[in-house]
Amino acid sequence: MLSFIFRRILAMIPTLFLASIVAFVIIQLPPGDFATSYMANLAAMGDTVSQDTLENLREAYGLDQPVMIQYYKWITGIIFRGDYGLSFEHREPVSSLIWDRIWLTMWLSLVSVLLTWIIAFPIGIYSAVKQYSAGDYIFTLIGFIGVSVPAFLVALVLMYLQFKYLGQTTSGLFSDEYISAAWSWARVKDLLAHLWLPALILGLSGTAELIRILRANLLDELRRPYVITARAKGLPEWKAILKYPVRLALNPFVSTLGWILPGLISGSIILSQVMNLPTTGPLLLRSLQSQDMYLAGSMILVLSVATVLGTFVSDILLALLDPRIRYQ
Amino acid sequence: MENQTPLLEIKGLKTYFFLDEGIVKAVEGADITVPRKSTVGIVGESGCGKTVTAYSILQLIERPGRIESGQILWRRAPENGPEEVIDLATLKPNSRAMRQIRGGEIAMIFQEPLTSLSPVHTVGDQITEAIRLHRPVSAAEAREQAIQMLHRVGIPKPEQRIDTYPFQLSGGMRQRAMIALSLSCHPKLLIADEPTTALDVTTQAQILELMLELQNDFDMSILLITHNLGVVAETCDRVAVMYLGEVVEQADTASLFNEPKHPYTQALMRSIPILGQRNRGRLDPIKGMVPDPYNRPKGCAFHPRCTQRIAGLCDQKSPLLQTLPGSDRAVRCWLYGE
Ligand SMILES: Nc1ncnc2c1ncn2[C@@H]1O[C@H](COP(=O)(O)OP(=O)(O)OP(=O)(O)O)[C@@H](O)[C@H]1O
Ligand code: SF4
Ligand SMILES: [Mg+2]
């Protein structure tokens, strides 16, 4: 197992390197160097910067030097000093802009994955074990709706219902008094109270997808001879099913960890706009529109790293779950 | 005084599958008697209902299948107390009584040991689970018993092998592990559904020898399902021949091989080379196709392929399985009297 983890970590390095190259290329995409764009941007807003500041910037990011050195300065700045560069739209270091949003996005993803699991697990098992029962048909129908109706539409409907019947609005992830408060237990509770609805909506299509996969996998596994062995040794039916075929059909659950994050980043942009969620989606969209490249590149970098790590964790869990992967 | 009553008596078993396309009469009259401490073979072409018969005994038939009628009489003799007769056909598949018998009194092994064991649980996990289901022992004791059992079935270094996964063992070792699992609770009957078909010839012989050895040690009976008449000749005391869901002949092995009565049995003997016996003349495949299970022929199920059929009788009325006078053989054929 240790050597498996070690090999996985080694395999991660080139992927991470590639992700950093992509992010760096994105930063370099707009014409002219960053200092020039920065100046132009400020000038457009009727502001000026001193020549000194510009020179300092050029110096700090190695803008006069070859691309290789620029990349080196950029990446070591990130790794050793947590310096992601400057956002010229917000005129702040990128690092002070993104972390809150990234954490919130991760939380949202995590809660969303958990909800997805909690809902999909029993329904998927039920649908497979009771194939073609009325319940199976109903869940399949709901599943189709879950996959085909866009999340933002569901969000609008639910927000409307909530407003109409409960008189509250779920907009944003915090109540007004907590928006810019420091982190505290009360703020966490407030966050969780706001988080579950968007998490549920976000997880909707994923849940439907997961139920479908679990049902199909389990139907396959239920036909395997080892299930008969389990029954033939005298296990009660529920135990025979939960311990053996369900265990083997579980792989897609773990794999969700890997793919849910990238899905959320792209899929949640519209939803985040609709529900006014302070996640990375809207900020990323905005930064791309305004060519705020350090901001955009940094977010893409952090989110790719998170995705790679998510895949890593899900690979490890898969290996724990399935010895055939571990010993290959 | 040895107990002379048979351990298992299957009488008139019918097991059907109710599909949208029609009813598959997979077993349409199986009568099989398994005496104590004996080996009984079931032979017959593919699809004749051998596996369904075996699964019926343990109530392992799944929807849309169902035992339609018949009796499966299981005689259990508790340590102290009178003999009990249980009709397994009347037990509910997932009932406590049935689960006690599964694995505890009647165990089963299958053709493909790799797929019959869970690939993601260790051999030891799967064996100790069975032991703890049927015996009041601690986890440590169960593990100790599992190691002994693995040792008994000839797996070297059982203390280490117990923690391996099935895919890490060779085919023969896997089937040994499967046998260890099924015999871990000392059942009185072992049902083996083509236990050696997936193995190479040398391993086949070893596994069969092991099964017979263990049969002796554990005083159990074996119901051996196989395609291989050579295996039957070497291992079985009695044989039941099945055709299209029916047992068409039942006899002790020697009589069956020396003097097959049923035309289907005779054809089977001619069609299959028998181990250790010189081929007398050419092999003679049985003519005609097995009819499809939705449309069983009227009358004797074998009549479309039978060379000795009696026109006007065999294609009209089904013969019953009848005991031949003065013997313990039974045949289902009009040639042997009313
Ligand atoms: N689950 C099922 N659903 C429908 N039909 C079935 C099912 N299981 C078995 N049958 C049918 O029952 C008949 C008997 O099958 P069975 O598996 O008992 O044959 P067999 O004698 O064991 O053959 P083989 O030697 O190939 O193992 C076949 O016609 C088969 O198609
Ligand atoms: S009953 Fe008639 S058709 Fe059937 S096996 Fe006997 S002789 Fe042949
Ligand atoms: Mg079979």
Structure tokens at A174: 């915090």
Pairwise CA distance, residues B111 & B51, whole Å:
11
CA–CA dist B74, B85 (Å, integer): 6
Instruction: Give the residue among B168, B310, B182 at the shortest CA–CA distance from A228.
Output: B182
CA atoms within 13 A of residue B144's CA, in its CB half-sphere: 5
B286 lines ligand 2 (CB under 6 A): no
Q: What CATH number is attached to the domain comprising B296?
A: 3.40.50.300
Strands B84-87 and B189-193: unpaired
**Cβ contacts of A232 on chain B, cutoff 8 Å:** 58, 60, 102-103, 107-108, 182
Q: φ, ψ for residue A86 (rounded to 5)?
A: -110, 145
* The token pair that represents B76 in the structure block: 């259990």
Q: Confidence band (pLDDT; 50, 70, 90) for A94? A: confident
Distance A289 CA to ligand 2 centre (A): 87
CB–CB contacts below 8 A, A to B: 80
Helix (H) or strand (E) holding B27: strand B22-34
In the block, tokens 């529109």 appear at A289
How much of chain B, in percent, has pLDDT values that exceed 90?
69
Phi-psi region of B270 (alpha: psi -120 to 50; beta: other; left: phi over 0): alpha
Look up residue A204 and give its two tokens.
Answer: 């909707």
Instruction: Give per-residue pLDDT as tens, B173-223.
Output: 999 999 999 999 999 999 999 998 888 888 889 999 999 999 999 999 999
Specify the pairing of strand B322-323 against strand B246-252: unpaired
- Least trusted range by pLDDT, from A143-147, B258-262, B282-286: B282-286
The pLDDT value given to residue B151: 95
Q: Do A232 and B120 touch (CB under 8 A)?
A: no
- Element (H or E) spanning A60, and its range? helix A51-61
Q: What percent of chain A has pLDDT over 70?
A: 94
Task: Please indicate, yes or no, if residue B228 is contained in any of the structural domains.
Answer: no
| 8 Å CB contact of B117 and A229 | yes
C-alpha distances in Å from residue A156, one per residue of A64, A142, A152, A271: 50, 18, 6, 9
Among B311, B316, B320, residue whose Cα is nearest residue B298: B316
Q: Which domain holds residue B89?
A: 1-36+47-95+236-273+284-327
Report how far residue A111's alpha carbon sits from residue A115's, in angstroms, rounded to the nearest whole number: 6
Pair B232, B265: CB distance under 8 Å: no
Position B335 in a domain: no
User: Residue B317 to residues B12, B49, B267, B300, B307: CA-CA distances in angstroms?
Assistant: 17, 22, 22, 7, 17
Kindly state the tokens that stand for A122. 């029993």
User: Does B267 sit in the ligand 2 pocket, CB within 6 Å?
Assistant: no
> Residue A169 has what pLDDT?
65
Q: Quickly tell me which residue has 């097991």 as its tokens.
A: B15
pLDDT at residue number A260: 64
Residue of chain A nearest B186, judged by CA positions: A233
Cβ–Cβ < 8 Å for A174, A183: no
> What's the rounded Cα separation, in Å, for the pair B315 and B296?
11
Q: Which residue has the higher pLDDT, B144 or A259?
A: B144
d(CA B241, CA B29): 12
Percent of chain A's residues with pLDDT above 90 = 19
The residue to which tokens 């694995």 are assigned: B103
Q: Say yes or no to pLDDT of B68 above 60.
A: yes
Alpha-carbon distance of B216 to A182, in angstroms, equals 77
Asked whether B253 lines ligand 1 (CB < 6 A), one says: no
Beta pairing class for B8-19 and A92-93: unpaired
At residue A1 the predicted structure's pLDDT band, cuts being 50, 70 and 90, is confident
**pLDDT band at residue B3 under the 50/70/90 scheme:** low
Q: Do residues B55 and B78 lie in contact, with contact meaning Cβ atoms separated by under 8 Å?
A: no
Higher pLDDT, B198 or B157: B157
Q: Residue range B247-273: average pLDDT?
A: 90
Give pLDDT tens digits for A247-301. 999 887 887 777 666 666 665 677 777 788 888 888 888 888 888 888 888 888 8
* pLDDT band (50, 70, 90) for residue A71: confident
- Of all residues in chain A, the one with the smallest CA distance to B135 is A234
Q: Whose CA is nearest to atom 6 of ligand 1?
A: B17
pTM (2 decimals)? 0.84
**Counting ligands in written order, which one lies closest to the CA of residue B24?**
1
Rounded to a whole number, what is the distance in Å from the CA of B298 to chain A's nearest CA? 34
How many of the other CB atoms lie within 10 Å of CB of A32? 10
Contact across the interface for A232 and B168, Cβ inside 8 Å: no
Count of Cβ atoms closer than 10 Å to residue B97 Cβ: 12
Q: Measured between alpha carbons, how far is residue B122 from residues A169, A244, A317, B139 in Å?
A: 53, 12, 18, 15
CB distance B16 to ligand 2 below 6 Å: no
Which residue has its alpha carbon closest to ligand 2 atom 6?
B333
Check residue A74 and give its pLDDT.
85
Strands B39-43 and B221-225: parallel
Q: Among residues A242, A240, A260, A253, which one has the least CA distance to residue A318?
A: A253
In this structure, is residue B79 part of a structural domain?
Answer: yes
Q: Scanning the structure block, which residue is given the tokens 């290996």?
A: A319
Task: Tell me what pLDDT residue B1 has.
Answer: 46
CB of B46 within 6 A of ligand 1: the answer is yes
Q: What is the pLDDT of residues B96-130, one digit of tens each?
A: 999 999 999 999 999 888 899 999 999 999 999 99
**Whole-number pLDDT of residue A274:** 78
Instruction: Give the model's pLDDT for residue B238.
Output: 96
ipTM of the complex in this document: 0.90
CA distance B250 to chain A (A): 27
Atom from ligand 1 closest to the CA of residue B24: 5
Q: Greater confidence, B1 or A31?
A: A31
**Residue of A196 and B309 predicted with greater confidence:** B309
C-beta separation of A248 from A155 below 8 A: no
Asked if B181 has any chain A CB less than 8 Å from its own CB, the reply is yes
Q: Is B159 part of any domain?
A: no
- Nearest atom (ligand 2) to Cα of B310: 2
Residues 147-176 of B with CB under 8 A from A: 165, 167-168
Please report whether residue B224 resides in a domain.
no
* Residue position matching structure tokens 């910067």: A49
- The position carrying tokens 């990375």 is A280
The rounded Cα A13 to chain-centroid distance in angstroms is 20
Ligand 1 pocket member B260 (CB < 6 A): no
User: Is B248 a pocket residue for ligand 2 (Cβ < 6 Å)?
Assistant: no
The C-alpha of B119 sits at a distance from chain A's nearest C-alpha, in angstroms, of 8
Q: Are B216 and B240 in contact (CB under 8 A)?
A: no
Q: Which whole-number Å values give the CA distances from B213 to A241, B156, B171, B188, B206, in the listed order?
A: 34, 17, 20, 14, 10
Q: Is B282 exposed, middle or buried (0-12, 13-18, 19+ CB in 10 A)?
A: exposed
C-beta separation of B39 from B237 below 8 A: yes
Domain membership flag for residue B15:
yes
> From atom 29 of ligand 1, which residue's Cα is the shortest distance away?
B47
Domains of chain B: total: 1
The response to whether residue B47 sits with its C-beta less than 6 Å from ligand 1 reads: yes
**Nearest CA-CA partner of B226 in B260, B254, B199, B187:** B199
> Looking at the domain covering A97-321, what would its CATH class be?
mainly alpha
Q: Using an 8 Å Cβ cutoff, are B267 and B286 in contact?
A: yes
Domain locations along chain A? 31-83, 97-321
Confidence bin at B277 (pLDDT 50/70/90):
low
Whole-angstrom CA distances from A315 to A1, A255, B46 are: 12, 8, 43
For residue A261, the model assigns a pLDDT of 63
Say if CB A198 and CB A155 are below 8 A apart. yes
Atom 25 of ligand 1: nearest residue by CA position: B46
- Domain assignment present for B103: no
Q: Tell me the mean pLDDT in the region B30-44.
A: 95
Burial of B170 (0-12, 13-18, 19+ CB in 10 A): exposed
CA angle B216, B219, B220 (to 5 degrees): 100
Rounded-to-integer distance, Cα B168 and Cα B196, Å: 19
Stretch 36-65 of chain B: residues touching chain A, C-beta under 8 Å: 55, 58, 60
What residues are neighbours of ligand 3 (ion), with CB under 5 Å? B 51
Q: Which of A227, A233, A242 to mutate to test the interface with B (most CBs of B within 10 A)?
A: A233
Select from B13, B48, B63 the residue to mutate for testing ligand 1; criterion: most ligand atoms less than 8 Å from CB. B48
- In order, the DSSP letters of B138-186 are -HHHHHHHHHHHHHHTT-SSHHHHTTS-GGGS-HHHHHHHHHHHHHTT-
Question: What SS3 state is found at B323?
Answer: strand
* Contact residues, chain A to chain B, C-beta under 8 Å: 224-226, 228-237, 243-244, 247-248, 321-324, 327
Of B253, B220, B198, B205, the closest CA to residue B43 belongs to B253
Q: What is the mean pLDDT of chain A?
A: 83
Q: Which amino acid residue places its CA nearest to atom 7 of ligand 1?
A: B17
Neighbours of B285 (CB within 10 A): 10
